[in-house]
Amino acid sequence: MKQYFLSTLFCGLLLLFSCGRNLTGPTSSGPALGIVSEIRLEHSPSKIFFIDAQHGWALTDSSGIYRTSDGGGRWEFHPFDVRTRFLDMSFVNPTTGWACGFDNTVLHTTDGGRTWQRQTIASAVDSTFQHIDFIGEQTGWLFGARGDVYGTTDGGESWRLLCRMQRPGLTFVRMWGSRGVAAQHSGLVLQTPDGGRSWSALKMPTERAGQAFFIDPDHGWLIQSDAPFS
């Protein structure tokens, strides 16, 4: 299923855009953007994730999660029972998803985010999980803040340590089965050919790369301070 992911801080005001009123200025050559809705939220979201045009979630860093099933027209807030700082989430359909964060925390939902159950990673050395990515209801990956990579093939009921990448500060992670991409804040981009068991660095055209985004293992973009390139 095609997935869309954006990461930003909204400071309590959620703006949803689609084609419409031009917000990009007179020099833009791309599609115009328009505001679908402006929603004042009680808890500031840190990440937003949509699996299609209707179903999406906005994750707060510590309070809970907002859920929409009408493309962002209305949002329902569902608090977390666990009190910690949350860093990432992954959904594979309108009902099934995961969230992760500090204090060895991984949560799983099967009702679209209304209720959550905690999952345990017995072998975890790092207590902070920075990224989580699932490609189906059974297969997923979890990345620790220090670079440890864990995998599951039973929906998170059990996790196994795949490798110690030793690359802290990952800003982007995406898996496509056996192949995957991870990017570090320093600009380093790594790829795995074997489901996360081993990683190698890509040759970079510059040492000043920043944020990265990949749509598949072979096509992605990096942003540096003075120019984008792909």
- Res 31: pLDDT: 66
**Do 8 and 24 belong to one domain?**
yes
Domain endpoint, select from 151, 166, 181? 166
Q: Are residues 34 and 142 in the same domain?
A: yes
Q: Do 146 and 179 fall into the same domain?
A: no
Q: Tell me how far apart the terminal alpha carbons of the chain are, to the nearest angstrom.
A: 24
**pLDDT tens, residue by residue, 142-178:** 999 988 999 999 999 999 999 998 888 899 999 999 9
Domain that holds residue 224: 173-230
**pLDDT, position 66:** 94
Residue with tokens 């599609």: 31
Same domain, 66 and 10: yes
The tens digit of pLDDT for each residue in 86-122 reads: 999 999 999 999 999 999 999 999 999 999 999 988 7
Burial class (CB in 10 A: 0-12, 13-18, 19+), 80: buried
CB count within 10 Å of CB 7 equals 14
Do 133 and 60 lie in a common domain?
A: yes
Instruction: Band the pLDDT of 37: cuts 50, 70, 90.
Output: low
Do 73 and 119 fall within a single domain?
yes
Question: Last residue of a domain, which of 150, 166, 182?
Answer: 166
- One domain for residues 162 and 196: no
Residue 2's pLDDT is what?
Answer: 41
Q: How many domains does the chain have?
A: 2
Does 185 lie in the same domain as 135?
no
If asked whether residues 136 and 224 sit together in one domain, one would say: no
Which of 166, 188, 203 corresponds to the end of one domain?
166
Asked if 27 and 132 sit in the same domain, the reply is: yes
Please tell me the distance from the alpha carbon of residue 222 to that of residue 208, in angstroms, as a whole number.
Answer: 10
Q: What is the dihedral of CA 140, 108, 86, 57, to 10 degrees?
A: 90
Is 188 found in the same domain as 76?
Answer: no
- Which two tokens mark 140? 């997923």
CA proximity to 198, closest of 210, 187, 209, 182: 182
162's tokens: 């795949």
Look at residue 161 and give its three-state secondary structure: strand
The pLDDT confidence band at residue 215, using thresholds 50, 70 and 90, is very high
CATH of residue 74: 2.120.10.30
Say what the pTM is.
0.81
